[in-house]
Structure 1
Amino acid sequence: MLIFLVVIFGMFYFVMIRPQRKRQKEQQTMMAALQKGDKVITAGGIYGTIDTLSEDTIIIKVEGGTTLRVARGSVAVRRDDIKK
């Protein structure tokens, strides 16, 4: 019975926990690599180009010259990283 529980926990770890940690690490690496001029998509679906970076906020330019201040953590992906 104990072996069965260990096997179930091991499967749970490799199916659920490990991939989530990998995604978190990739997200942190992407956040640290952001720089001015990067094209990004926010978690809210806004497409823009980074104009200014600070510790916890980013100013992005969107179409029409509008600038938006967003939380650094709201950047979901860099558009350059999207595989076609």
Structure 2
Amino acid sequence: MSLFIGTAHAATGTAQPGGGMEMIIMLLVFGLVFYFMIYRPQAKRVKEHKSLMSALSKGDEVLTQGGLVGKIIKVSDEKDFIAITIADNTEVTVQKSAISAVLPKGTMKSL
């Protein structure tokens, strides 16, 4: 026997049987929680954003992810870009995916 290392004793009892069914049930519950709490709401948001992108048209007032509020003056379907005017004689070209919301008509005048 060493001064610093203790003696290892083997366990004398029998090992408990493995719980394979409990592990499968736990994984299924975890999968369901993952689906309903993470995947499903995110898929719903993506679907709503795609429908917003397809509904953009000239004259809509929009809010970009950068915080710019402007009116759409040109929509380019093949290149996925739109041109918005944020003030008189000031145009900005942004990607369609940068639009976060379509605002009600007259919002720019009330600002």
Name the TM-score, length of structure 2 as normaliser: 0.69
1:74 aligns with 2:98: yes
Displacement of 1:71: 1.1
The answer for the alignment partner of 2:81 in structure 1 is: 57
Relative to its length, the structure with more helix (as a share) is: 1
User: Does 2:34 align with 1:12?
Assistant: yes
After superposition, where does 1:37-56 map in structure 2 within 5 Å?
A: 37-55=59-77, 56=80
Offset of 1:65 from its aligned partner? 3.5
Counterparts of 1:11-30 in structure 2, within 5 Å, are 11-30=33-52
Cα distance per residue 1:25-66 (max 9 Å; x no partner): 000000000001111011111100100000211010112331
What TM-score comes out, normalization by structure 1 length?
Answer: 0.89
Long gaps (5+) in structure 2? 1-22, 105-111
Where structure 1 has 5 or more consecutive residues not aligned to the other structure, the ranges are none
- Runs of 4+ aligned structure 1 residues displaced above 3 Å come to none
Partner of 1:37, secondary structure, is coil
| Counterpart selection for 1:3 from 25, 46, 57 | 25
How many residue pairs get aligned? The number is 80
Q: Distance in 1 between matches of 2:42 and 2:34?
A: 12
Using CA pairs under 8 Å that are at least 6 residues apart, name the structure with larger relative contact order, 1 or 2: 1
> Whose radius of gyration is greater, 1 or 2?
2
